[in-house]
Amino acid sequence: MSPFMKYYTLEDHSNVAPNSYNVLKSFKAIKTKPCSHSISKTGYSGIARFSKKIEFNDNYPSPSDYNTSTFPKQVHKTKYPFDCSSKRKTFVSNTIPGPGMYVSTEKGSITFEHSFGGRVKMKLGVDLKCCSQNSDFCKLCGKKITGDYWHLKNEIFLCRSCKNKEYEKETKYKRKELKQFHKIRDCSIIHQHETTTAKIWLMHPTSAAQWIRRETYLSAYFNE
């Protein structure tokens, strides 16, 4: 027992078991009163509150004492939705199918040229012309060709702009004839010769081979 319980509990109990003694006779706190000077009207001295209490006079009904109408009695339908008559933007449907919505029947692959037991040569998507100085001129405009251009059996050359114009207007060559032309470029992008037969690499040979192989694979899907 705690000291507080021992003070208020009598010691002369023959049997202090539950339901074996009179509770009113066993405790002195019922008959004796505490000291009258220990408790004041305002509370204990250390934690007493002497300020006046705040009285709340606002009375609000509880939620169950009143009912609010969730909707008005008369609902008028508006002429336009959301009271807005402005034109809405229409989205143009995309006719191109997304990934997985179509089956590609064409399978692109790199073609190789065989020479009956000789070395197998990969057919490039863009023919590469290795020369110290490119002397090809366009058949139509007569200008010196720079960049990628088209050739027919390495005899007739067409620049990019003239080939596109001929494909639309067909003034000198038909479209069937233009399909026989192949794309070609000189080797000035990969290496330089400086009017000699030696090569000065502008990029690493391994990266150049990877670039040519990647371009050859993609040319099987895109025909220019």
102-133 pLDDT, tens per residue?
776 667 778 888 888 788 888 888 888 888 88
Residue 219 C-alpha from the chain's centroid: 30
* Contact in structure between 154 and 146 (CB atoms under 8 Å): no
Q: Is the pLDDT of residue 211 over 80?
A: yes
Between 31 and 78, where is the model more confident? 78
Handedness of CA 40, 44, 50, 53 (dihedral sign): negative
pTM for this one? 0.47
At 30 the pLDDT is: 47
Identify whether the C-beta of residue 158 lies closer than 8 Å to the C-beta of residue 150: yes
Average pLDDT over residues 92-111: 75
Any idea what DSSP says for residue 141? T
Q: Is the pLDDT of residue 49 over 80?
A: no
Please report, to the nearest 10 degrees, the dihedral formed by the alpha carbons of residues 39, 42, 48, 53 taken in order: 150
Describe the chain by its helix, strand, coil percentages, rounded to 5. 20, 10, 65
Task: Let me know: does 23 contact 39? Beta carbons within 8 Å.
Answer: no
The secondary element (H helix, E strand) that includes residue 167 is: helix 160-169
Which tops the pLDDT comparison, 49 or 130?
Answer: 130
User: Is residue 24 over pLDDT 70?
Assistant: no
- The torsion region of residue 100 among left (phi > 0), alpha (psi -120 to 50) and beta comes to left
Question: Rounded mean pLDDT of 69-76?
Answer: 65
Average pLDDT over residues 46-55: 69
The Cα diameter of the chain in Å comes to 135
pLDDT for residue 129: 86
**43-52, 151-160, 164-173: lowest mean pLDDT where?**
43-52
